[in-house]
Structure 1
Amino acid sequence: MRTSAAARRTALAVAGTAALALSALTTAAPAGAVVDPQVRGQGGTSWVRACDTLAHGDTVACHALRVTSTVEPVAAFGVSPHLTPAGYGPSDLLSAYKLPANGGAGTTIAIVDAYNDPNAEADMAVYRSQYGLPACTKASGCFKQVNQSGGSTLPANNTGWAGEISLDLDMVSAIAPNAHIVLVEASSATMANLGTAVNTAVGLGAKYVSNSYGGSESSADTSYDSSYFNHPGVAITVSSGDSAYGAQYPAASKYVTAVGGTALKRDSSTRGWSESVWLTNSTEGTGSGCSKYDAKPTWQKDTGCTRRTIADVSAVADPATGVAVYQTYGGSGWAVYGGTSAAAPIIAGVYALGGAPSSGSSPASFPYAHTSALFDVTTGSNGSCSPTYLCKAGTGYDGPTGLGTPNGTTAFKG
């Protein structure tokens, strides 16, 4: 029996919470379809989930949120040399997180997503040109776009995942503009295909792999851990989800850095910025929680979860304080995006700025050895829970923002 589009949207809105049934995520739509995305919002900012409708057989969704209320100060398409797009750009993010400019030389960052964005290279070129970043093209060898096995026959185009791909490429470009980038596109949004793409990314030499998707936990997760995410010496970042309090996989994997989300605002402090937990309402905000299945890694010492706790670190995710993105396949050029999908590639880029992880290391443990080299986020919550630190920010570790946000690169070295 096929459910209605409204039912699919409702299921996706609560993806990853303890109450979510996996079957609710598998309702079908054509691979390239966008069916009446549900507009959400708060405080004058509205947005839609890029992956609001799942293709047939998909079991996970991307975590990109496209703002629909933006009034752009630039032309919709192409480069506007004397104007700045809405949303935070590279200089804003480097300032907020005290990161060096022009970083990433000699590194390879992989982005793993589902389906194909046929305009990925061209759109990234516009973003980089707008902000004065060096070109990164297939012709120069800086950019590769491959299928989940590393081949050149790309999967079906998908307008929703194209927004996720544009967001990921632009955030990696912003943080580590001199890195090489490998976009690995899975055939569909299942853990088997996306996990295969992760293995391919590592096989192609990436020491940093960004994943901005997730879904319900399952008893198969520990098997997925060993099959797809156990890559010592590789920093694998995963967004914690946009459905507020409740664990998702693969953020729950003990082998990845689970990345939560914040609201990032300019202020008059010495830092010049402040952050709080991103929460829109009871069903939308940064994800956190206790895994049902994944064992607690030895470097995680909180006592409220007997198993893996989400998250480890965080970065900007609130669509009301979102980032500039350029997308033309399924998009209208310049846009503002949010979601923990923004945070995961930002943190992957920060790992790249920190240098290659040591052989055999667990990069997810690095921030736990350098807690003073992070901005501690102490305000906000993403729901109700017990113990409260799992959903409420406070001094030191908490679920929604982990140990905090980058303050330079020290916490991401090891």
Structure 2
Amino acid sequence: MRTTTPDSPHIRGRWRRAGAAGAATAALLFAGLGTATQADATTTAAPAASSKAASAKVTWAATPCATPKHKGELACDSFRVTGGTTAFQKARAAETGKAAKVTPKAAAAGPTGFGPSDLQDAYGLTSAAASNGSGETIAIVDAYDDPNAEADLAKYRSYYGLDACTTSNGCFTKISQTGSTTSLPAADSGWAEEESLDLDMASAVCPQCNIMLVEAKSATTANLGTAVNEAVALGAKYVSNSYGGSESSSDSTYDTKYYKHPGVAITVSAGDEGYGAEYPAASRYVTAVGGTALSTSSNSRGWTESVWNTSSTEGTGSGCSSYDTKPSWQTDTGCAKRTIADVSAVADPATGVSVYDSYGVTAGWYTFGGTSASAPIIAGVYALAGTPGSGDYPAEYPYESAGTSALNDVTSGSNGSCSSSASYLCTARSGYDGPTGWGTPEGTDAFTG
């Protein structure tokens, strides 16, 4: 398998390791409500020359699925960059000596966000990605149909030199929540963007994994949860979920009905509205995944991360659940119930990831952010680490590696305001904190029992 990534910003010239949210009346958490927000693409690599383009701020908007179509539906957790100069472009400019170009509002001819080799290098996965994952299946659970999912995935993988993943070679499967390959949900361009993001991130981290896209007929907890159950019934040991909504007193019932699957690593995005608990990230049976800003650096790792936080209403989710029981492996004392998150990965749109998408938009390359990116990234890491123990809840695994070199401790940034007596719930610190959990992957050791 080839692992070379075109136009990848390896500045250092090294390849180190090559449902309804609660009740139907529950209020939903929306990711930005479609308004464009600005933030600096913070990267420690100095851009080439002093061009105006290199200093242009990144702008982005929430994807359409961040605003549910109907009452009682969950929101996706993704943003699409609409302009400015991304961290990838600044790093590339520093490497080549050419001025960074401002990202157009329409699709770009080539990637403007981080690609597979960047993510693998940042998280110590290059070697594992080259040798692990064969025979493993990552399930991606989303709502509605993306008619172009397989074709767009083929474009992404071909560009980055990843082996083909198609229905014909048995690598890619697209099914409905009932398991049908022919009777699929109605198509939706907003959720199609989410599906492209999820599929590409699973491919980026675990290029040898098989991928099963399970499409729920709508974005309710019942339908998305049914899709999770179908994925597990069909043998997936890694299930990624990039959606969420507000908590409710029904969550413990949903836990048992949809998310309690021992022996399966179920990852869920922590949300994109800053401090505050979402469901199903609050489920004690899943790995809640927070978000970071990822930038190249001259340090020994070659990368640096901080809590993703753009404003009081945009940033990684975290918090203390109001309803879900605290799992036995969580020992923090500032939250009597389930604390969010467990681990994290890149989510800041300003330091976002490249995605190829064509359904309902101009076909081409886009840069995405949001914890919709970090959830499938972590699902891919679990897949590289190998099949979980049959009776395990893999959310516990990172806690067993707490404080070790198997995780990159994120110690700077916050995602909002919380009680001073439990400030770690919204502010990064050494060790465990809400926004980033125990940190980001440094290899696969923290994701196996």
Common fold by TM > 0.5: yes
Q: What is residue 85 of structure 1 aligned with on the other side?
A: 111
RMSD: 2.0
Q: Distance in 2 between matches of 1:289 and 1:26?
A: 14
Distance 1:356 1:25 in 2: 34
Structure 1 position 53 matched with structure 2 position 83? no
1:129: which partner in 2?
A: 158
Residue 70 of structure 2 aligns to a residue whose secondary structure is coil
Give the number of aligned pairs.
Answer: 383
Q: CA, structure 1 residues 383+22, in 2 after alignment: closer, same or farther (shift >3 Å)?
A: farther
- Rounded Cα–Cα distance in structure 1 between residues aligned with 2:207 and 2:66: 30
Partner of residue 204 from structure 1, selected from 191, 216, 234? 234
Aligned counterpart, 1:115: 144
TM normalised by structure 1 equals 0.89
Aligned partners of 2:247 and 2:277 also within 8 Å: yes
- Aligned counterpart, 2:428: 393
Aligned mates of 1:276, 1:201 — CA distance in 2: 33
CA separation in 1, counterparts of 2:356 and 2:25?
A: 32
- The alpha carbon displacement at 1:251 in A equals 0.1
Note if contact 1:98-1:406 (Cα within 8 Å) is conserved in structure 2: yes
Q: Which sections of structure 1, spanning at least 5 residues, go unmatched?
A: 1-14, 28-35
1:364 aligns with 2:414: no
What is the aligned partner in structure 2 of residue 42 from structure 1?
39
CA distance in 2 between counterparts of 1:22 and 1:368 reads 35
Partner of 1:375: 408
- Residue 320 of structure 2 is matched in structure 1 by 290
**Could you tell me which residue of structure 1 aligns to residue 358 of structure 2?**
328
Aligned-residue offset at 1:41:
2.2
Q: Which runs of 5+ in 2 are unaligned?
A: 1-19, 41-56, 85-101
State the distance in 1 between where 2:439 and 2:28 align. 31
Aligned equivalents of 1:52 and 1:178: distance in 2? Answer: 30
Determine if contact 1:58/1:188 at 8 Å carries over to the other structure. no
Q: What are the residue-to-residue correspondences of 1:346-357 with 2, within 5 Å?
A: 346-357=377-388
**In structure 2, C-alpha distance between the alignment counterparts of 1:209 and 1:232, rounded to whole Å:** 12
Once residues 22 and 342 of structure 1 are traced to their aligned partners in structure 2, the CA distance between those partners, rounded to angstroms, is: 28
Distance (Å, rounded) in 1 between the aligned partners of 2:79 and 2:251: 26
Q: Deviation of residue 359 (structure 1)?
A: 1.1
User: How many Å separate the matches in 2 of 1:187 and 1:125?
Assistant: 24
Question: What residue is the counterpart of 1:265 in the other structure?
Answer: 295
Residues 22 and 59 in structure 1, CA contact (< 8 A), matched pair in contact too: no
The normalised TM-score by structure 2 is 0.82
Deviation at 1:72, TM superposition (A): 5.0
**In the alignment, residue 446 of structure 2 is paired with which amino acid?**
A
The percent identity for this pair of structures is 65
Question: Helix, strand or coil for the counterpart of 2:280?
Answer: coil
After TM superposition, give the deviation of residue 57 of structure 1 in Å.
3.8
Which of 254, 258, 269 is the aligned partner of 1:224?
A: 254
CA deviations on 1:226-245 (whole Å, 9 max, x unpaired) are 00000000000000000000
Q: Distance in 2 between matches of 1:202 and 1:408?
A: 25
Cα separation, 2, equivalents of 1:26 and 1:258: 16
> Residue 47 of structure 1: CA displacement?
1.0
SS of alignment partner, residue 200 of structure 1? helix
Q: 4+ residue stretches of structure 1 with deviation over 3 A?
A: 20-27, 70-73
Counterpart secondary structure, 1:47? strand
CA distance in 1, matches of 2:121, 2:375: 18
**1:253 maps to which residue?**
283
Residue 26 (structure 1) shift: 11
